[in-house]
């Protein structure tokens, strides 16, 4: 519920705006925002990973003093590859009449 609310109401726009206006200063704002995005990546909250990378990738790519944003983009790409692989194998399985449950751990 909360994740959909944040996406629907574009709440990350303000967060990223503050981050960008803060620049490369190392302070509490900078650390808190980096930690927020790192938490989203580590917990692999797929809806939020997808949303923030799709909307802010061009900004993330410019941040080179921490690995967090590159790792977040990588996590997004891994999720996309996994989803593509599952949908392809799902098509093969459905035509064969079988089904498989897959557990995915981030």
Q: What is the pLDDT of residue 99?
A: 43
Q: At residue 100, what are phi and psi to the nearest 5 degrees?
A: -135, 140
Per residue in 16-33, pLDDT (tens digit) is 999 999 998 989 999 999
CB environment 12-24: b (16+ within 10 A), e (fewer): beebbeebeeeee
Query: Each residue of 61-91: pLDDT tens digit?
Result: 999 999 999 999 999 999 999 988 877 776 5
For the entire predicted model, the pTM comes to 0.79
Does the structure show a pLDDT above 60 at 56? yes
- The answer to whether residue 15 scores a pLDDT higher than 90 is yes
User: What CA–CA distance (Å, rounded) separates 49 from 47?
Assistant: 6
Q: First-to-last CA distance in the chain?
A: 21
């Amino acid at each position: 519920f909360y994740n959909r609310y944040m996406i629907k109401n574009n709440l990350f726009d303000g967060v990223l705006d503050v981050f960008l206006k803060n620049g490369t200063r190392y302070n509490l704002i900078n650390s808190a925002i980096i930690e927020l995005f790192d938490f989203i990546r580590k917990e692999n909250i797929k809806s939020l990973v997808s949303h923030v990378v799709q909307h802010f990738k061009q900004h993330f790519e410019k941040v080179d003093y921490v690995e967090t944003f590159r790792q977040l983009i990588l996590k997004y790409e891994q999720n996309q590859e996994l989803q593509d692989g599952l949908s392809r194998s799902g098509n093969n399985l459905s035509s064969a009449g079988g089904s498989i449950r897959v557990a995915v751990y981030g």
